[in-house]
Structure 1
Amino acid sequence: MRRKPRSIDEALARARVFDGHYTPGHLAESRRRITEKLNELQALLTGPGTERARPATLSPLSLLHDRAARDLRALCQGVIHDADAAQRIARFDTTRDPGGALAFACLLVLAGIEDGAQFWWQFSAGAGNPSAAVCLYLLHLRRGDLKDAEHWARQSAALEHEPCQYTPVTHELLAPACPPIIVTIRMEIPDHTADVPEEAVRGAVQDLDIGQIDGVGPVPQPSPDLAHQLQDLIANTR
């Protein structure tokens, strides 16, 4: 049996990088893929449709993450301002309606409870809701989880034409049937005078029950009173 190192210095002395696993061809291909992705990001951020000049000190990835965060919050505000959102959340308390899961998750993400929002968006997207898949795409893009973002971009494209789905924010993917990681989404946010303050949303959800779901862990659960609180929040922004 190999003796364990007795100190950090001894452990570091044993540490080494193994050669031979990657050929120059592998490294060249990796560089090519990275360059290709960076070029895609640069084109997205500086091409037609860019609304304002952005600081040159920020990297394309940082700009992309910031843009995804803004788009996600705008989408969530649009969802909770929809006339049916409160009723959907009220039904979701008892029936686990996928549209209610979408709206409930949007409230959670505005309150800063991203893990809970992710769970219910996955529930909604699994039931075929394309808006939930778009939310997951933007969430993972904001986090920099590009593989997961690509998965949900493909899912949102596949669900785009699902019939009878609750889509409170009209959206369109300007991308091919199998989009790359970066897709362009055109959204028509419902008209509303002002966004619901996120501090008020946090106050509305702070007393929610946190249920334990096997294999997942603690997940916020909707309450019968939450729909009424949402209606009050919306009324106070008009």
Structure 2
Amino acid sequence: MTQDRLTVLGTGPITVFFVRHGETPMHAENRYVGRTDAPLTERGQAQAADLGEWAATARLTAVASSTLRRARETAEPAARKAGLTQLLDERLVELDFGAAEGMSAAEMRQRFPRERAAFEADPYENPLPGGESPAAALARGRAALDDLADGSHGDRVLVVAHGTFLRIVVCDLLGIHPRTYRTALPVIRNASGAVLRRDQAGHWGLVAWNPPLAAGTDSW
């Protein structure tokens, strides 16, 4: 699943644009950022502005985001351009990476090599030391997505969240075991992610992965 446009796996009345926030200083250095409330870089702010220009004509009916600053700042231009009130949901926050917070993969391999190796073999069953269980993150993420896509927020919902959290939830929605999220969905771009559809029976399908979301691009 590395191409930008994929075959629709299901059709339905609710389209969810499940997007990762813009770039932060720590992400620019390839460091793990979980609950650290990092701001956007200038590039991240530009990515958020581009998302806002896309939202201006995307016919959105709701804009929701994680409560963390980087997600709020990414979603704010989109909500403003779409004329909507931004919804904040703490269930959409990133996983807590515990002792690995702020570290690069190379630094983890030096500090706790066995735990990092176990994580790389199966990140779902072996969270980073002191980190949140991915199963717990998945449970809160599924509950949030189900609420946002139940029809009460309209049929075109933008959700701004976080990279690891998003990939775990998307894998589960598509029937892919979340333990493979790092290989099944290895790259997720800032201010992009997944275009999903939920049909009337509650089945989810993937419309696009890592699409460009800026003025003049597809709005599905």
Name the TM-score, length of structure 1 as normaliser.
Answer: 0.23
Compare relative contact order (CA 8 Å, sep 6+) and give the higher one, 1 or 2: 2
Whichever structure has more helix as a proportion of its residues is 1
- TM (norm. structure 2) is 0.24
Q: Highest Rg: 1 or 2?
A: 1
